[in-house]
């Protein structure tokens, strides 16, 4: 048995590898440089070109580019008409923005539990939490795997709820051969650097509904209309004229961010294929390791995985998650934890949320960590990660 690096042994690798990172090429840099040297670095044609590209990628009729994924969720909540006294059902195993978007508009997040094998929100738990105040469901494609869209759509239609898909992890994923982005009433994306494609910071909302599209535009751009076709005043004074028709926010994306994302999207197929190769290698390697539980996938989801999560089996391992995490770091494989259940945070505790709301999600959280997964990883990198997980698991096995 190999001595752990944390105990004085030799690390698996010399240089630290992290759970995620962007892949920027000379073509990406050139695309951004071209915009920076042009006439428009914001409010220009590149954003419109990006929105058209996102429609092509997702199959959606409309796309609205925004400054980040949180802005996308906020705009979706506004467009859905969610407000004071309403409830929005979501998962606790997510980044806080999936729930915070309800708070932004005066509504109350309600947390449904997750499936113990897929870690995605459980449709049965969703339905059990519906009340006469429920307005919408925010379902998160956790790690990139599609949720059970068909079952959730049935629930939304049955109770007349707006279906918002938080696909921040899931650009490139397909559900029953339909791309994420054209399934829910609105779908929200994030383009943070560790996501499959990036614009630095950035986000987008897609929809097929023209009324929702108009509301998303207003929400993300100060509530201001510059297009004469949208004016309430039929006689604008001149080409400089614009109207503020509702309260909105400055959630615009810059043109150079849009140019970067257009360039990145041209390689989405390559990124997706490489992520799938690494996931397949991990699944094969970890399937036979006692002490490691692998996230399961539903057959309907053709997943472009954003995160690869291993779960420690406390019945087989004699270490805490922190001890395993620190041992991996000493081997120069830096993991992360996704996510602390949202209602664990002090802010939510002060709002009256208590631990124990979603026992399955809480149990899963206690043993999960994300290991490195990104397209730039070499086969040697992948082997090093597998070696580190195997080495640490063997050391701590009872």
The catalytic residue positions are 195
3-class DSSP assignment, residue 273: helix
Report CA-CA distances (Å) from 148 to 121, 126, 169, 284, 365.
8, 12, 15, 25, 21
> Is residue 3 a contact partner of residue 327, using CB atoms and an 8 Å limit?
no
Taking the C-alpha atoms of residue 119 and residue 124, their distance in angstroms, rounded to an integer, is 14
Instruction: Tell me the CB-side half-sphere exposure of residue 355, using CA atoms within 13 A.
Output: 8
Neighbours of 315 (CB within 10 A): 8
Token pair of 279 as six digits: 């996931």
Neighbours of 347 (CB within 10 A): 12
> Is residue 207 a contact partner of residue 60, using CB atoms and an 8 Å limit?
yes
> Is residue 167 a contact partner of residue 141, using CB atoms and an 8 Å limit?
yes
């Amino acid at each position: 048995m190999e001595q752990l690096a944390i105990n004085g042994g030799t690390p698996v690798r010399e240089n630290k590898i992290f759970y995620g990172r962007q892949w920027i090429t000379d073509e990406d840099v050139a695309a951004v440089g071209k915009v920076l040297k042009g006439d428009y670095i914001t409010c220009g044609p590149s954003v419109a070109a990006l929105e058209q590209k996102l429609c092509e990628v997702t199959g959606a009729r409309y796309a609205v580019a925004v400054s980040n994924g949180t802005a996308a969720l906020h705009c979706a909540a506004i467009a859905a008409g969610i407000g004071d006294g309403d409830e929005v059902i979501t998962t606790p195993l997510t980044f806080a923005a999936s729930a915070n978007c309800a708070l932004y508009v005066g509504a109350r997040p309600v947390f449904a539990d997750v499936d113990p094998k897929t870690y995605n929100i459980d449709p049965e738990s969703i339905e059990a939490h519906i009340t006469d105040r429920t307005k919408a469901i925010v379902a998160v494609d956790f790690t990139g795997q599609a949720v059970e869209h068909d079952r959730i759509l049935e629930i939304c239609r049955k109770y007349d709820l707006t279906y918002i898909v938080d696909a921040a992890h899931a650009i490139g994923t397909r559900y029953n051969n339909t791309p994420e982005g054209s399934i829910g009433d609105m779908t929200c994306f994030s383009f943070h650097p560790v996501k499959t494609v990036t614009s630095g910071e950035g986000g987008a909302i897609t929809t097929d509904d023209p009324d929702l599209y108009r509301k998303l535009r207003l929400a993300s751009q100060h509530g201001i209309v510059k297009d004469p076709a949208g004016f309430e005043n039929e006689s604008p004074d001149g080409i400089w004229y614009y109207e503020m028709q509702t309260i909105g926010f400055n959630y615009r994306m810059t043109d150079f961010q849009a140019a970067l994302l257009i360039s990145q999207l041209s390689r989405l197929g390559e990124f997706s294929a490489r992520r799938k190769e690494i996931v397949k290698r991990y699944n094969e390697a970890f399937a036979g390791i006692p002490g490691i539980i692998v996230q399961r996938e539903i057959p309907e989801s053709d997943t472009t995985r954003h995160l690869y999560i291993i779960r420690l089996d406390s019945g087989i391992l004699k270490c805490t998650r922190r001890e395993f995490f620190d041992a991996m770091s000493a081997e120069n494989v830096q993991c992360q934890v996704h996510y602390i259940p949202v209602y664990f945070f002090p802010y939510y505790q002060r709002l009256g949320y208590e631990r124990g709301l979603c026992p399955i999600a809480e149990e899963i959280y206690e043993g999960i960590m994300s290991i490195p997964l990104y397209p730039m990883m070499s086969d040697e990198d992948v082997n090093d990660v597998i070696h580190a997980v195997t080495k640490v698991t063997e050391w701590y096995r009872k």
